Structure 1
Amino acid sequence: MPAATTSPWDVHRLPAADGKVFLVTGGNAGIGYFLCEQLASTGATVILGSRNAAKAKTAIAAIAARVPGAMVRHVHLDLADLTSLKSSADAWELERLDAVVHNAGTALDHPPRRETRDGYEAMFATNHLGHYALTSWLAPLLNATPGSRVVTTGSFAAKSERLDLDDLQSHRDYRPGRVYGRSKLAQMLFAFELDRRLRAAGSTTLSVVAHPGGALDSLTPSRPPVHVRTVGTRLRGLPLGLFVQGKEAGAWPAARAVLDPQVRGGQMWGPRMFGLRGKPRIEPLWDHLTDTVGAARLWAASRDLTGVEPVV
């Protein structure tokens, strides 16, 4: 009997997902916006999580202008405020959740070190702790939806970093670039630890990492008024297009991680060409992403800091 064949993945013709519900955190701008646009084209209901209602409304209008019949709505989501985050999740009243994409993030460029109202370092809190806690509060929905997925947006910024598990909030060593990279590394380690625990529990929910490679505004197509690229900006960015890509293409790995039935838990998806640009493919895990002991310690520290633990 001949082996089963599958059609090549087409980033411009995504498979239908009618009846499914996807939540994208930080969906009002950047890669998150383009991911919402791409997922909306499948016929799914897309929930755009954002703390800024005005920006979310603008993004939804831009998606509707490009995707006739798009079903996109906004929910309030502030990952830096754990108290409000719990209240928001309780108020959404979703009946199912086929995937949540942990996309939102913040990157601070300059000192001094900043803290959230809960007293956590801002980048670690927003990028990692907020998504960690959100996973806990969405777990009942995810567990009740067969084949659901948790897709975490990773970053090349994490490749050269290592976590200091004794200083997760960077009290001793605060350098914005390093702290951002470590916060993304924490997200990725959590995603792989989550999948190990899901597999051990016999769950059908998958946890997958997707990273955008090099995704620059100058190479990103215009979506006015969400993003406007001038002719001058486009021309200046053309040489970089040999090595990196725009944010529309940067969303492709996450879209595949959400939609492709061949995706398996514990995988990392990124751009085909040196992990920087091109169509999405499975990538081998970086050595430090396979640190199961460190990931388990991070899980325990996250539980202790937030007071919650994802139910798997």
Structure 2
Amino acid sequence: MSAHSWDVRRLPSAEGRSFLVTGGNAGIGYFVAEQLAGTGATVILGSRAPAKASAAARSIGGRVPGARVRHVPLDLADPASIVAGVAALRLESLDAVVCNAGVLLDHPPRRETDNGHELMFATNHLGHFALVSWLAPLLAAAPAARVVTVGSLTAKSVTLDLEDLQSLRDYRPKRAYARSKLAQMLFGFELDRRLRAAGASTSSVVTHPGGALDSLTPSRPVRSRTAGELLRGLPAGLLVQGKEAAAWPAVRAVLDPSVRGGQLWGPRVLGLRGRPVPEPVRGDLADTALAAALWAASADLTGLAPAAAGPAGA
């Protein structure tokens, strides 16, 4: 299926398959989950907020007749929660994980997890690094599983400081967030290289949503827009889009058999809006030495290696 023939409104059936969406209770992740549920697949929402996840599952069920949606507790900043969340899946195989959940802090002070890691780096990157490691056996048990990493355009505006991954020096929240997303995307590309080298059937694809505004997003029970928001957002609709459309690259990366591991997918129009298309991988995103060094640092910080089936060295 070519980039031109994909119809975002007429998705192929995925009956019998299982997909995990981290942060599937809100924002772009919610719409990824809603759209995937419409294919007949079983969709699991990974969320640290059980009440919000239940509300999201009910919302999806109200829009998708017969939707198979459930949720598991998952806090990516807590290694124990990741292990428990994977066990709670109660699956023999997993066809895709969409690494979407993230934390964005707007103001200082710098915050840390209980393990002493900077919160955004720990959640957005290290948490998904660990999650994919623990999911490795379930992904390997599926015929052609996919790891889909949802990055951000902000990642292209920064460089990664391997000597200060935890933002201990000169902490700037927006830069720390962008660096965490760059790390997450580098992980997605490096993961695919390692999977290919190992001859694995699992592949790794990186996506980004472009520009996504709440004011352009269709209302759902989990988040309603006001008339004022709608009016304020109309001019921006010429350049960006709502979160329903922002979910399209990740959804296509999960479902389209023509998508290949190691690719980057984003919106067609200037990378900001429109149907999903492949993009060239450039700059730091194409730096294999940087990605390998980040991988080594991440494995050291977590004690895990996602291309394997559990703890590093196991």
- TM-score (norm. length: structure 2): 0.96
Question: How many Å separate the matches in 2 of 1:91 and 1:62?
Answer: 22
Is 2:46 aligned against 1:34? no
- Partners of 1:80 and 1:116 within 8 A in 2: yes
The answer to whether 1:296 aligns with 2:292 is yes
Partner in structure 1 of residue 56 of structure 2: 59
**Identity among equivalent pairs (%):** 70
Match of 1:96 in 2: 93
Superimposed CA distance per residue, residues 214-269 of structure 1 (whole angstroms, 9 cap, x where no aligned partner): 00101001002x11011111111000000000000000000000000000000000
1:25 matched to 2:13: no
Aligned length: 308
Cα displacement (A) at 1:173: 2.2
Unaligned runs of 5+ in 1: none
Out of 110, 114, 117, the residue aligned to residue 107 of structure 2 is 110
2-structure distance, mates of 1:202, 1:42: 29
Q: Deviations over 1:103-123 (max 9, x none)?
A: 000000000000001110000
- What is the rounded CA distance, in whole Å, between the counterparts of 2:88 and 2:6 in structure 1? 36
Query: 2 CA distance for matches of 1:204 and 1:274?
Result: 32
Q: Is the 8 A contact 2:46 2:71 kept in 1?
A: yes
Q: Secondary structure at the match of 2:277?
A: strand
Name the SS for the 1:221 alignment partner: coil
Residues 158-307 of structure 1: matches in 2 within 5 Å? 158-224=155-221, 226-307=222-303
Structure 1 residues 5 and 206: alpha-carbon distance in aligned structure 2, compared to 1, 3 A threshold: closer
Opposite residue 265 of structure 1, the aligned amino acid is G
| Distance in 2 (alpha carbons) for counterparts of 1:122 and 1:281 | 32
Residues 159, 286 of structure 1: 8 Å contact kept:
no
What residue identity is the alignment partner of 1:93?
R
SS at 2:234 equivalent: helix
The equivalent residue for 1:157 is 154
Q: What's the offset of the Cα at 1:5?
A: 8.1
Structure-2 separation of matches of 1:281 and 1:170: 33
Give distance in 1, aligned partners of 2:68 and 2:76. 24
Measured against aligned partners, the alpha-carbon deviations of 1:111-139 in whole angstroms (never above 9, x if no partner) come to 00000011100000000000000010000
**Aligned partners of 2:183 and 2:296: how far apart in 1?**
12
CA contact (8 A) 2:194 2:307 kept: no
Indicate conservation of the 8 Å contact 2:211/2:246, yes or no.
Answer: yes
Deviation sequence 1:78-110 (CA, Å, 0-9, x none): 001112211221232212100000000000000
- Per the alignment, residue 133 of structure 1 pairs with 130
Could you give the per-residue CA deviations for residues 32-86 of structure 1, whole angstroms, max 9, x where no partner exists?
0000000000000000000111000100111011100000000110001112211
Call closer, same or farther: CA 1:279–1:6 in 2, change over 3 Å: closer
Distance 1:273 1:140 in 2: 38
Name the amino acid aligned to 1:135.
V
CA distance in 1, matches of 2:51, 2:84: 20
Q: 2:312 maps to what in 1?
A: none
| Separation (CA, whole Å) in 1 of partners of 2:85 and 2:227 | 40
Distance 1:7 1:117 in 2: 47
Q: CA deviation at 1:7?
A: 7.8
Q: Which residue of 1 aligns with 2:305?
A: 309
Q: Which sections of structure 2, spanning at least 5 residues, go unmatched? A: 309-314
